Amino acid sequence: MSLGITLVSHVQEIITGLSALLEQVAKDVSITTAGGTNDEDIGTCMDKILQAFSENKADEILAFYDLGSAKMNLELATEMTSKKIHLYDVAFIEGAYTAATLIEAGVKLTEIEGQLEPLTLKK
């Protein structure tokens, strides 16, 4: 059972940058992204999130997002995929970075969640 990461942002460039940051420390972790709307505007899109879930090589995914409306689309996508998705209301960059480094180090999910806990934000 492997763990992967999906990043969801209103802006494509944000996750392009964030993936670069994560890949540097987590070369073996499958990281997939969904940025912007269908017509490449600012926003989020459930279809893109579903695709990011299915493109992810892992069967269990830790998902991180920027603003509240991304969470709504993430939850909708979570209800429509067969993969196991864990959604975290944590600081976007710090949370994703924490998860990426710990997955790369082979740390178990429960322990990763313990490390994410203090990064929780009211989103």
Partner 1 sequence: MSLTVKNVIEWMNNFSSKIEQNKQFLSDLDTAIGDGDHGFNMSRGMTAVSQKLSTEPKTITDAFKQIAMTLISTVGGASGPLYGTAFLEMAKKSSTSSDIGDLLDAALTGIKKRGGAEPGDKTMVDVWTVLVSEVKTNTLTQEKIDSAVAATKDLVAKKGRASYLGERSKGHVDPGSQSSGYLFKALLETEGIL
Ligand X SMILES: Nc1ncnc2c1ncn2[C@@H]1O[C@H](COP(=O)(O)OP(=O)(O)O)[C@@H](O)[C@H]1O
- Rounded to a whole number of angstroms, the minimum distance from the CB of residue 58 to partner 1 is 24
Binding interface with ligand X (CB under 6 A): 68-69
Instruction: Decide whether 17 or 68 has the Cβ nearer to ligand X.
Output: 68
Question: Catalytic residue at 10?
Answer: yes
Q: What angle do CA 11, 73, 107 make, to 5 degrees?
A: 80
State which of residues 7, 31, 34, 45 lies at the interface with partner 1 (CB under 8 A): 45
- Rounded to a whole number of angstroms, the minimum distance from the CB of residue 98 to ligand X is 26
- Cα–chain center distance at 6: 3
Residues carrying an active site annotation:
10
